[in-house]
Amino acid sequence: MKTRFSQSRIARKRRRLNSPAGLAASLIPPRPTLTRLASAAKSCRACPLWRRATQTVFGEGSPAAKVVFVGEQPGFEEDLAGKPFVGPAGKVLDKGLIAVGIERSEVYVTNAVKHFKWEPKGNQHMHKKPNASEVAACLPWLHAELKVLRPTVVVCLGATAAQALLGKQFRVTKQRGQLMPSPLAPYVTATVHPASILRAPDDVSRHQEMKRFIEDLQTIAKIIHSVPLGSDKRRDRSYGHDYL
């Protein structure tokens, strides 16, 4: 006969499985690889965002990537192409990577939310920020990507990704560029989303914002070009911040 304790545990488990995050987690294959994850995410319906989007836009990059960049969500171009960071913000990121000597082959790019959230404005698809429950619903996919990749550095691009991975109290404006203790990777940090640089009001401030973005990327380049692949630090899951 089941005790009251075990019944409440079962009820809790049921609630968890029926939650949006539980629904996404239930789709994660038992022995995940990036290819298997991307394929499983195609059929995700754990939150309403799939309804308006063209397709799931999963992360992309080398399975041996040392750095994972996490943005907010795919944009209009990404939604059509089915690939992350191929639009204007992706071009800003590429420019920054070139400036600090990080190769694309060292990088994996993904988003906190895998479907494009938008609302119609005339005949345009206007980007709409995903809400907390949509971000929470999608989080199992991001955690699964990080678990497979085991990168040296995770870089959150913008507040949505930073708060999803580092907590709601994290403020990109105040804490950008800082290395944060996290079980996700040896080095976890955040900077602005490249799209915010494009939204700067004039050329002077855009130039200043790009300069600061490149400074943040320089810290990351310094880390990954000093930590050899397969080093003990990379395998150690109790990450501290004794670097830099």
**Considering only 45-53, 94-102, 149-157, 191-199, which stretch makes contact with ligand SF4 by CB under 6 A?**
45-53
The only residue of 25, 37, 38, 44 in contact with ligand SF4, by rule CB under 6 A = 44
Instruction: Kindly state whether residue 160 participates in binding ligand SF4, applying the rule CB under 6 A.
Output: no
Least distance between ligand SF4 and beta carbon 120 (Å): 19
Query: Using an 8 Å Cβ cutoff, are 34 and 149 in contact?
Result: yes
- Nearer to ligand SF4 (CB atom), residue 144 or residue 153: 144
Instruction: Kindly state whether residue 136 participates in binding ligand SF4, applying the rule CB under 6 A.
Output: no
Instruction: Kindly state whether residue 70 participates in binding ligand SF4, applying the rule CB under 6 A.
Output: no
- Nearer to ligand SF4 (CB atom), residue 41 or residue 220: 41
Sign (positive or negative) of CA dihedral 74, 75, 81, 84: negative
- Nearer to ligand SF4 (CB atom), residue 113 or residue 217: 113
Query: Using an 8 Å Cβ cutoff, are 244 and 187 in contact?
Result: no
**Considering only 1-9, 87-95, 108-116, 209-217, which stretch makes contact with ligand SF4 by CB under 6 A?**
108-116
DSSP bridge pairs for 127: 118
The only residue of 37, 49, 67, 161 in contact with ligand SF4, by rule CB under 6 A = 49
122: left (phi over 0), alpha (psi -120 to 50) or beta: left
Tokens of 220: 């990351």
Instruction: Kindly state whether residue 24 participates in binding ligand SF4, applying the rule CB under 6 A.
Output: yes
Instruction: Kindly state whether residue 56 participates in binding ligand SF4, applying the rule CB under 6 A.
Output: yes
- Residue (of 20, 9, 68, 70) closest to 45 by Cα position: 20
Euclidean distance between CA atoms 41 and 119, whole angstroms: 23
The only residue of 36, 45, 127, 143 in contact with ligand SF4, by rule CB under 6 A = 45
User: Rounded to the nearest 5 degrees, what angle is found at the Cα of 35, between the Cα atoms of 54 and 103?
Assistant: 90
**Considering only 60-68, 83-91, 136-144, 176-184, which stretch makes contact with ligand SF4 by CB under 6 A?**
136-144
- Residue (of 243, 59, 48, 49) closest to 141 by Cα position: 59
- Nearer to ligand SF4 (CB atom), residue 50 or residue 239: 50
Least distance between ligand SF4 and beta carbon 81 (Å): 16
Instruction: Kindly state whether residue 142 participates in binding ligand SF4, applying the rule CB under 6 A.
Output: no
**Exposure string (b/e) for 111-130, b if CB count within 10 Å is 16 or more?**
bbbbbbbbeeeeeebebeeb
Tracing tokens 């298997």 back to the chain, one arrives at: 36
Binding site for ligand SF4 (CB under 6 A): 24, 41, 44-47, 49-50, 56, 113-115, 134, 137-138, 141
